[in-house]
Amino acid sequence: MTTSVLDRTHQVFEAGLATGEDPTLGLLHAEADKVSRELLPCRVNNPELWFAESPSDVEEAKALCTDCPVQALCLDGALSRREPWGVWGGELFLSGVVIPRKRPRGRPRKDAAA
């Protein structure tokens, strides 16, 4: 059985925190400061990548998050804060909700496969 993204807020964080604690941005930064900067993709790459307009850039940011040591804490915090937009913990948020992918701007092509 797989765990949905929304069920993650009730799991124990990898950082050893008790369940139910509010994962604030301050807590995320404190945990990230304990890890080597080179292991945190959002600190070594262009931060604009995590708030990009291009679907390919958003997918790149999501892929970079997969090996991040604070990914679970980042995702749990974004879910509890209902982040308005951006990539957090390897997931794309829009209006506080996780969405599977970003659509390109404009109308779809008429000859696109259904």
Provide the residue ranges of all domains of the chain, joining segments of one domain with +.
34-99
Say what the pTM is.
0.69
The answer to whether the CB of 9 falls within 8 A of the CB of 79 is yes
Is residue 12 predicted with pLDDT exceeding 50? no
Distance, CA of 41 to CA of 66 (rounded, Å): 9
CB atoms within 10 A of CB 94: 12
The answer to whether the CB of 61 falls within 8 A of the CB of 85 is no
The answer to whether the CB of 74 falls within 8 A of the CB of 39 is no
Token pair listed for 8? 């993650």
Q: Which of 77, 96, 103 has the alpha carbon at shortest distance from 17?
A: 77
Distance, CA of 5 to CA of 53 (rounded, Å): 23
The percentage of the chain sitting over the pLDDT mark of 70, rounded to a whole number, equals 75
The percentage of the chain sitting over the pLDDT mark of 90, rounded to a whole number, equals 50
Q: What's the chain's average pLDDT? A: 79
Regarding predicted confidence, which is higher, 80 or 100?
A: 80
CB atoms within 10 A of CB 67: 10
